[in-house]
Amino acid sequence: MTSVRHPSYRHAYLAEIFDRLEAGDTGIKAKAHALMALWKAQPEMNPWLWQTWERLLERPVAEMRAAVLAETQDGDMLRHAMPFAGILSNRERAELRRRYPGLTHP
């Protein structure tokens, strides 16, 4: 069991994504940009979300992590619509739930 505490499943999921980005996983950003291209094509998608994520993906991971995991209205909105769908497999998501029991989802 790890000593890290996460207030929600989304926090734990994103922390895992940010850890992988810090470890040099370049495929994550490519997948995120591909998903955001789909967002841009949807007129009902809030442009603030994809524009903010585009800016964040160009920043150092530590800055991205701080902005997205912040307990602010913007952080909450970014956690609600994140361009990292499909990055973690079903097995990896299940492992997150095992490592951090009691997390609220989503």
Per-residue pLDDT tens digits for 30-63: 999 999 999 999 999 999 999 999 999 999 999 9
What's phi and psi for 23, nearest 5 deg? -80, -5
- Single-letter amino acid code for the residue at 76: D
Q: What Cα–Cα distance (Å) separates residue 40 from each residue in 10, 34, 47?
A: 23, 10, 7
User: Between 12 and 101, whose confidence is greater?
Assistant: 12
Per-residue pLDDT tens digits for 69-100: 999 999 999 999 999 989 999 999 989 888 87
Annotated domain spans of the chain: 9-99
